[in-house]
């Protein structure tokens, strides 16, 4: 018999607006953003840019668009970016950098997605010849999605910035979950922002807005990104109705991410107690719990099907990898119940 209510642990993108957020959307002053006259969008862009110490912001429908607009302002067509092999821009943006910007990627293996400044220094190749592809930028994802929500250490990011400066390279931050990194580490948002030439942030994951991301950069790059955004069909009109939700999220929902982190740790602890080879509690930095099923009797797809029939939805990342994510819609009771359902499915034997 199917469960009365599914506990959906696939992604924090499943958050939905609260009544208070809906009220903020309805009451937001509106204008035409193509003319740069939507007051709610303008205020949000100024607010978020200031939080990260950047000059300007540009509201975008998605994080993928924000990432690609930022990188296209940094990297000429025919040049490359360096990032890790499981970065979102490599694995989950459908080759957009190459298809739309003529940009290639050079990747390296990174443990749990954590940056390795020495590896980057060893493979980056600034333009030096008309016959060789040149590196123009370094990309960092923080927190790292497919790395299990790991927080990039500030010291490593500072070392990476030194590598970039020594080689004349730009740096882009895929900060879809930078809010989680900030809450988990205590590192100020401006300290992260100071290390990157362009920053992408997302409002529609743990912060709970229904739609929206933002690119942060200087005036010239934002002006160029605005043109590219329009060219891609994302010149939006009274978009303040969405920016109102994002503004509410930024004003009210950052601190509460600590609850998601606490619940993810609790879930990991419960599962690790019965399946220590599947769950490593020590790498649960934020709201994502990775399941490594290499030694399990079930594949990720088989686990998904068994869990679904019992009332829990998980995210399949690969044949032997799965993911659980906590967010505002997941309660303490949901965590306990999900652990009760998943534990016997993950236990050896």
Q: Please check whether the domain covering 31-252 is classified as CATH 3.40.640.10.
A: yes
Per-residue confidence (pLDDT) for residue 297, from 0 to 100: 82
* Residue given tokens 């005036």 in the structure block: 219
Per-residue confidence (pLDDT) for residue 3, from 0 to 100: 53
Per-residue confidence (pLDDT) for residue 114, from 0 to 100: 97
CATH tag, 7-15+256-346: 3.90.1150.10
CA distance 224 to 227: 5
CA distance 63 to 241: 18
Per-residue confidence (pLDDT) for residue 1, from 0 to 100: 39
Q: Which residues of the chain have pLDDT under 70?
A: 1-3
What is the pLDDT of the chain when averaged over all its residues?
96
Domain ranges of the chain: 7-15+256-346, 31-252
Query: Is there a contact between 163 and 137 (Cβ–Cβ < 8 Å)?
Result: no
pLDDT tens digits, 327-348: 999 999 999 999 999 999 999 8
* Residue given tokens 């989950």 in the structure block: 92
Count of beta carbons in the 10 Å neighbourhood of residue 165: 11
pLDDT tens digits, 116-160: 999 999 999 998 888 999 999 999 999 999 999 999 999 999 999
CA distance 149 to 324: 11
Contacts of 340 (CB under 8 A, 6+ apart): none
Prediction pTM value: 0.95
């Amino acid at each position: 018999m199917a469960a009365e209510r599914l506990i959906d642990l696939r992604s924090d993108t499943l958050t939905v607006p609260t009544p208070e957020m809906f009220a903020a959307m309805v009451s937001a002053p509106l204008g035409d953003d193509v003319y740069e006259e939507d007051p709610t969008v303008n205020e949000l862009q100024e607010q978020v840019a200031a939080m990260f110490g950047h000059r300007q912001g540009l509201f975008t429908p998605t994080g993928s668009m924000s990432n690609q607009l930022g990188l296209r302002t940094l990297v000429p067509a025919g040049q490359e970016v360096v990032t890790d092999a499981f970065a979102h821009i490599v694995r989950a943006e459908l080759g957009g950098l190459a298809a739309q910007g003529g940009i290639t990627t050079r990747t390296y293996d990174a443990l749990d997605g954590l940056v390795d400044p020495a590896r980057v220094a060893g493979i980056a190749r600034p333009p030096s010849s008309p016959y060789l592809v040149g590196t123009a930028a370094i990309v960092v994802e923080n927190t790292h999605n497919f790395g299990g929500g790991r927080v990039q250490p500030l010291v490593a990011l500072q070392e990476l910035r030194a590598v970039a400066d020594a080689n004349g390279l730009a740096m882009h931050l895929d900060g879809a979950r930078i809010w989680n990194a900030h809450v988990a580490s205590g590192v100020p948002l401006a300290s992260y922002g100071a290390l990157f030439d362009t920053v992408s942030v997302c409002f529609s994951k743990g912060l709970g807005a229904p739609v929206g991301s933002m690119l942060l950069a200087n005036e010239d790059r934002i002006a160029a990104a605005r043109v590219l955004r329009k060219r891609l069909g994302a010149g939006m009109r009274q978009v303040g109705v969405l920016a109102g939700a994002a503004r509410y999220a930024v004003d009210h929902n950052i601190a509460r991410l600590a609850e998601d982190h606490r619940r993810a740790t609790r879930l990991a602890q419960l599962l690790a107690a019965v399946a220590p080879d599947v769950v490593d509690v020590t790498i649960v930095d934020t709201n994502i719990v990775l399941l490594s099923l290499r030694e399990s009797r079930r594949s990720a797809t088989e686990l998904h099907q068994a869990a679904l029939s019992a009332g829990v939805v998980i995210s399949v990342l690969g044949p032997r990898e799965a993911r659980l994510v906590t967010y505002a819609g997941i309660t303490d009771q949901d965590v306990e119940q999900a652990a009760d359902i998943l534990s016997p499915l993950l236990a050896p034997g």
